[in-house]
Amino acid sequence: MNLLYITNGICGVGGLERVLSIKASYLAEKFNFEVTIISLNEENKKPFYEFSSKIIRYNINVNLSSKSYFFQYIKEIREAVKQIQPDIISVCDDGLKGFFLPLILKKPCPVIYERHVSKLIALNGRKETIKDKLIFSLMKIGGRTFDKFVVLTEGNKLEWQGLKNLEMIPNPLSFYPAENSTLNSKKIIGVGKITYQKGYDLLLNVWKLIFEKYPDCSIHIYGGTFDNGKLNQQIEESKIERFEIHPPTNEIENIYSDASIFAFPSRFEGFGMVLTEAMAYGVPCVSFDCPHGPADIITNDKDGFLVSNGDITDFADKLSLLIENDEKRKQMGTEAKKNVKRYLPEVIIARWDELFKSMS
């Protein structure tokens, strides 16, 4: 089966790129799909994550600043699809244009939409405006034109109520190592880009409450900075110790394997893939119960803690409990390793294989 993914890019360090590298590679290697990925303005660029050598990359060059950008895109995407002649198209474009690809392409084959973010991420903490309502309405109209509209969590399904083509398939695990973290280090980690959404300013306030109690413990954040240095400034001004920011790394597995607790202070999410990655290493997680994702992944007080969204004091209490109680920390880590198996690629991507084949 000839499967075509349409996306804006695969060379970034975000969750969509990571998921696509896993999913597309697994379909090509294990399920023998002929996979092509169309992306924009990435000619001769190397992806941050590893993609199977069996995958064909197809680049479209468009001038994003041009007034005629959209019409240029339509012409180029139609020509590309005509050349590739896919049996199935899966759209991974969270922008407005992605919602109208069935109309733009006149549906030469079944077309699926994959929604990787929630509406809350699009709003980024601000109130919904009339313009936002219009855009979301247009998205919903466009969403009806797909054969299937796939979201990641139960909460995401609520955002698209009324669509009769909804499916829920979560993200697959990036890895499931044979070894676990020993949970004996004094490292608490967070993984994800430095933005308002990810809530690391909230984690800084959490750490402010307890860092003096644990002079041998430290928090390490791994992710690109997209907040104009605000978090670094807040760290300097607060004079809080042992709260460090590190650049993103493609050797993140080494980071998980040396951690004892994973902190997830997001205000809102699309899924929370890093939670499953930490759990795969047997690292217990403390997370705000934000919309949407953590409640689907973590079983509270069994394999991690779900804290009321924004409750800094309770988050600090749960971190303290795991720092001080070796038995509780290791018991939760064991449960996390066990429970996260439901996100193994052979489980999740088999569902995609079944969906694709049911539509061909």
Residue 330 sits in a domain whose CATH number is: 3.40.50.2000
- Is residue 149 located within the same domain as residue 255? no
Q: What confidence tens digit (pLDDT) does each residue in 126-179 have?
A: 999 999 999 999 999 999 999 999 999 999 999 999 999 999 999 999 999 999
CB atoms near residue 161 (< 10 Å): 8
What integer pLDDT is reported at residue 360 of this predicted model?
79
Mean pLDDT taken over the chain: 96
DSSP reduced 3-state for 261: strand
Count how many domains the chain has: 2
Q: What residue type is 237 in one-letter code?
A: E
State whether 98 and 161 are in the same domain: yes
Domain co-membership, 154 together with 228: no
Q: Which residues contact 96 (CB under 8 A, 6 or more apart)?
A: 135, 138, 139, 142
Residue 246 preceded by cis peptide, ω within 30: no
165 and 109 share one domain: yes
Q: Are both 123 and 219 inside the same structural domain?
A: no
Strand partners, 89: 4, 111
* 235-261: pLDDT as tens digits: 999 989 999 999 999 899 999 999 999
Counting residues of the chain whose pLDDT is more than 70, the rounded percentage is 100
Give yes or no: residues 152 and 204 share one domain.
no
Q: Across residues 287-314, what is the average pLDDT?
A: 97
30 by Cβ neighbours in 10 Å (0-12 / 13-18 / 19+) ranks as middle
Asked if residue 205 has pLDDT above 90, the reply is yes
User: Can you name the residues that pair with 304 across neighbouring β-strands?
Assistant: 285, 300
Chain-centre distance of CA 16, in angstroms?
A: 6
Burial of 275 (0-12, 13-18, 19+ CB in 10 A): buried
The confidence score (pLDDT) of residue 66 equals 85
At 15 the pLDDT is: 87
Question: What distance in Å separates the CA atoms of residue 344 and residue 28, rounded to the nearest whole number?
Answer: 17
**8 Å CB contact between 282 and 183:** yes
Residue holding tokens 């303005």?
A: 41
Q: What is the DSSP secondary-structure string of 310-321?
A: T-HHHHHHHHHH
Domain check: are 209 and 304 in the same one? yes
Query: CA 193 to CA 199: how far, in whole Å?
Result: 10
The average pLDDT across 23-48 equals 96
Question: How many Cα atoms within 13 Å fall on the side-chain side of residue 191?
Answer: 25
Q: How many residues does the chain have?
A: 360
Determine the average pLDDT of the residues in 108-128.
Answer: 93
Domain membership of residue 240 (yes or no) is yes
The H-or-E segment that residue 19 falls in is helix 15-30
* Same structural domain, 124 and 197: no
Residues 141 and 154 both lie in one domain? yes
pLDDT at 228 > cutoff 90: no
> Three-state DSSP class for 157?
helix
Report how far apart, in Å, the C-alpha atoms of 326 and of each of 186, 243, 283, 330, 333 are: 11, 22, 12, 6, 10
Residue 291 has pLDDT above 90, yes or no: yes
pLDDT of 13 reads 87
**Confidence check: pLDDT of 28 > 90:** yes
Structural domain span for residue 210: 187-343
Tokens of 88: 């199935």
Confidence at residue 8, expressed as pLDDT on a 0 to 100 scale:
96
The DSSP call for residue 127 is P
Q: How large a percentage of the chain has pLDDT more than 90?
A: 92
Distance of alpha carbon 53 from alpha carbon 311, whole angstroms: 46
Q: pLDDT (tens digit, 9 = 90+) per residue, 42-93?
A: 999 999 999 999 999 999 999 988 888 999 999 999 999 999 999 999 999 9
Q: How far apart are CA 184 and CA 215, in angstroms?
A: 15
**Stretch 109-115: mean pLDDT:** 97
Q: Determine if the pTM surpasses 0.85.
A: yes
- The answer to whether position 195 is within a domain reads yes
Does residue 306 sit in the same domain as residue 242?
yes
Q: What is the pLDDT of residue 14?
A: 85
The residue type of 154 is E
Sheet with 111-114, edge to edge strand ranges: 56-60, 34-40, 2-7, 88-92, 111-114, 148-151, 166-168
Same domain, 10 and 142: yes
